[in-house]
Every structure is written in structure tokens, then in C-alpha cells.
């Protein structure tokens, strides 16, 4: 194998594909990137047996072939090369020669046949969605994906697609995030994508990705965005009945300035850290939200006006969980609905129904 290509484009491709490479594995090939030369292009693949990322870039191919090169070493070498062009060549003993300008490297490669094959997606269905929209949906729900092993299904986001509507749902036992949008797809689909994989999809969608293809199979899904394909396994298992967690009636409703509430919680959070955890006490009464925090470091209090209807309420919540929900609402105002001090806090957009965020309250010490 021998080719010459643009160093910057190769560096970008290696950096992105490397996201799917296993940093430590019993198989040396899995710590590498598979490089193949075909039809005037070089294709690159990273795969850790759960998620795979592939792409291709233009190159001047002198001799076709394939090799696996340690991903970290390859990335470090390319990034430090001095010239715009870079040459990579392998011999029959799998020695890899990398050169740019007057700089030359000679490193040991791995046979391509030692690299595991990516899974194939059969019985597939293609769903098209705007790239910027999908990126937004992932960003606004992935924060609520569970990082615990208690229920594997909750380590991913549930996709529900029906009646030209797509929903993404994430839950971790303390909060719930639902994002909904209209798309052009008449079929019905339901599947769970690992949170780790969705995080990589979000990073690889760029401003020029007007469309993302989701190719859904029985056990895997492929996201096609720009020059990149991301293939990942789907999570098997039963997702929680999230609809039953959403209260149907509310005793207190407020329209809140999102930035004011975030700033208030930030101020309370100065008295909190990993060693000193305490709920923030929130009292809504007389058109005011009054927040307070009491820890061994001291006390804090703040208040601001809101548009409020219904009963007065006093409720406690975790500062991080509430901040996440408010920040990922990405709106100037939100509607906050509550139904007593022990029912979930429901956060909705001030207009429309594009998201529903739930935060479980924390029992305050003086409650009986």
C-alpha cells in the first residue's frame, strides 16, 4: 500500500475515527485504525465492538492495500508532521513508512485480516432527519441517560417514531427528558441507542450536514452524516413506561425566566460540593420564588418574581438536576408545573410541546 494525501484532512479523519477505538484491549488490532485504499480514496475505520466509525478522504493512490496502525501513535505522528502533504507506505512485512517533508517514521503495522468485521445491518429501514435537528434532540436529552448498570435499557435513549413524529426519551431514575419533533416518516419504529454512541453522533454532525440517514436494523443502527458512518448496536431490554411518570394534573403552575432561575440556583450552589450535599429549598408563594440553602458552610437566600397560578408550594430539589433541565431547555422562559412537594417537577417550553423535562424532588427535613 502506498498513498499521498493532505495532512490536515487525514488528521481530521483520524481524530474523528479514533473516537471509536478502544484505548486498551486484549486485541492489539482494536487499539488501531484500519486503513484501506480503494478507488482513489483511503477509508479509515475505528471499532471497539460496540460502536464503529468509518470515513474516507481523497488521496493519490500509488498502490492499493490495507493495514492497521495503532490509533494513538498514528494521530500523534500526523499531528506533528511539518508539511501539508503526507505519505504512507507499507511493505510485505507490514512495516509502515510515514513521511512528510524531511521527517520519516518507520513503525510496525498489523495485518488487516486481524481486524474484526463491522456488523452488517439487515432488514433495514431508512429514516431521514435534519442534522441540526437531530443534534439538538440528542443534546437536550442525553444529559438524562443513566450511567449506572442497574437497568441496561436506561443507558441509552429510546427512539419512538410514529405518525410522522419522532420522540427521544432518556431517564436515569432521578430525571426524565423527552424531546419531540415532526419528521417525514409514515412508519412506526421503537429502538434504544446507547448514550455513548449518541454522544459521538452529536459530535460528528456539522453545520453542513443538512440530512442524517438513520438506517435501522434488527440489532444495529447506522447514522450517516456527511462523510461519516457511525454504526452501533441497539440496546435490548424493556424501557420504563415513561408516560405513567408524567402527572396529568397540576396544583401549581409558573412561567419562569430561565436565566433568572439558573442564576439563583448557581448562587445557592456555592455552598454545595461533593462532600456537602443538601437540597435547595424552593418556596413559591405570592408571585415569588424564594430559594434557600443551608449547609455546614453557611446559608444563602434569594428571590425573584414569577407569573404564578394555583397553590403555594414548598419543595426541595437537587441543584445539578434542576440546572441541567433549565440549561438544556435552551429557551428564555419555561413553564414549571408542580403537584405537591413529593411529585415530579415538570418543565415545559413556554410555547409548544417540543420537550418535557421531569426532575424528582428531594424530601425536605422538616416534612412529616
pLDDT tens string 195-250: 999 999 999 997 676 899 999 999 999 999 999 999 999 999 999 999 999 998 99
Same domain, 238 and 257: no
Is pLDDT above 90 for 366?
no
Q: Of 242, 257, 272, which one is at a domain's C-terminal end?
A: 242
Is pLDDT above 60 for 148?
yes
CA separation for the pair 159, 188 (Å, rounded): 10
CB atoms within 10 A of CB 25: 13
Same domain, 80 and 134: no
Q: What are 119-146's pLDDT values in tens digits?
A: 998 867 899 999 999 999 999 999 999 9
Same domain, 132 and 236: yes
Same domain, 93 and 37: yes
Same domain, 133 and 101: no
Q: Is the residue at 366 inside a domain? A: no
Q: Please, which pLDDT band fits residue 367 given cuts at 50, 70 and 90?
A: very low
Q: What are 104-121's pLDDT values in tens digits?
A: 999 999 999 999 999 998
Residue carrying the nine cell digits 454512541: 197
Same domain, 280 and 297: yes
Q: Is the residue at 364 inside a domain? A: no
Cell of 4: 499521498
Q: Is the residue at 171 inside a domain? A: yes
Same domain, 250 and 187: no
User: Tell me, what's the pLDDT at 123?
Assistant: 67
Q: Which residues are CB-contacts of 245 (< 8 A; sequence separation ≥ 6)? A: 171, 176, 344, 358
pLDDT, average across residues 275-279: 84
CA separation for the pair 365, 162 (Å, rounded): 44
Q: Of 212, 242, 272, which one is at a domain's C-terminal end?
A: 242
3-class secondary structure for 339-359?
CCCCCCEEEEECCCCCEEEEE
Q: Give the chain's domain count.
A: 3
Q: Is the residue at 368 inside a domain? A: no
Element (H, E) at 334: strand 333-338
Same domain, 103 and 144: no
User: Tell me, what's the pLDDT at 273?
Assistant: 83
Average pLDDT, the chain: 94
Element (H, E) at 267: helix 258-269
User: Tell me, what's the pLDDT at 368?
Assistant: 40
Q: Structural domain of residue 333, as residue ranges?
A: 246-359
CA separation for the pair 138, 204 (Å, rounded): 12
Q: Of 242, 269, 297, which one is at a domain's C-terminal end?
A: 242
Q: Are 197 and 51 in contact (CB under 8 A)?
A: yes
Q: What are 311-324's pLDDT values in tens digits?
A: 999 999 999 999 99
Buried b (16+ CB within 10 A) or exposed e, 307-320: ebeeeebebbbbbb
User: Tell me, what's the pLDDT at 39?
Assistant: 85
Same domain, 252 and 349: yes
Amino acid at each position: 500500500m502506498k498513498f499521498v494525501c493532505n495532512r490536515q484532512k487525514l488528521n481530521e479523519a483520524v481524530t474523528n475515527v479514533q473516537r471509536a477505538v478502544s484505548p486498551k484491549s486484549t486485541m492489539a488490532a482494536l487499539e488501531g485504525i484500519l486503513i484501506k485504499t480503494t478507488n482513489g480514496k483511503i477509508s479509515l475505520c475505528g471499532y471497539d465492538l460496540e460502536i464503529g466509525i468509518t470515513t474516507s478522504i481523497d488521496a493519490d493512490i500509488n498502490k492499493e492495500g490495507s493495514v492497521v496502525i495503532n490509533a494513538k501513535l498514528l494521530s500523534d505522528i500526523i499531528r506533528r508532521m511539518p508539511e501539508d502533504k503526507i505519505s504512507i507506505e507499507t511493505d510485505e512485512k507490514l512495516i509502515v513508512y510515514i513521511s512528510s517533508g524531511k521527517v520519516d517514521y518507520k513503525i510496525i503495522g498489523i495485518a488487516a485480516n486481524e481486524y474484526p468485521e463491522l456488523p452488517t445491518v439487515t432488514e433495514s429501514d431508512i429514516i431521514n432527519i435534519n442534522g441540526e435537528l437531530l443534534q439538538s434532540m440528542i443534546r437536550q436529552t442525553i444529559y438524562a441517560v443513566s450511567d449506572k448498570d442497574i437497568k441496561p435499557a436506561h443507558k441509552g435513549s429510546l427512539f419512538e417514531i410514529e405518525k410522522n413524529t419522532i420522540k427521544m426519551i432518556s431517564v436515569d431514575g432521578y430525571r426524565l427528558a423527552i424531546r419531540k419533533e415532526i419528521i417525514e416518516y409514515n412508519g412506526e419504529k421503537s429502538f434504544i441507542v446507547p448514550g455513548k454512541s449518541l454522544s459521538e453522533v452529536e459530535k460528528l454532525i456539522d453545520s453542513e450536514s443538512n440530512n442524517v440517514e438513520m438506517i435501522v436494523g434488527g440489532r444495529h443502527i447506522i447514522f450517516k452524516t456527511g462523510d461519516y458512518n457511525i454504526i452501533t448496536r441497539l440496546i435490548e431490554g424493556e424501557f420504563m413506561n415513561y408516560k405513567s411518570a408524567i402527572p396529568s394534573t397540576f396544583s401549581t403552575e409558573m412561567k419562569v425566566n430561565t436565566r433568572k432561575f439558573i442564576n439563583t440556583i448557581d448562587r445557592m450552589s456555592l455552598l454545595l460540593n461533593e462532600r456537602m450535599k443538601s437540597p435547595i429549598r424552593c418556596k413559591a408563594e405570592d408571585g415569588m420564588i424564594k430559594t434557600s440553602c443551608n449547609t455546614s458552610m453557611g446559608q444563602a437566600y434569594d428571590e425573584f418574581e414569577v407569573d404564578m397560578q394555583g397553590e403555594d408550594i414548598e419543595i426541595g430539589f437537587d441543584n445539578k438536576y434542576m440546572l441541567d433541565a433549565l440549561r438544556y431547555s435552551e429557551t428564555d422562559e419555561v413553564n414549571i408545573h408542580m403537584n405537591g412537594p413529593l411529585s415530579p417537577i415538570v418543565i415545559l417550553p413556554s410555547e409548544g410541546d417540543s420537550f418535557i423535562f421531569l426532575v424528582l424532588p428531594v424530601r425536605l427535613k422538616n416534612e412529616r
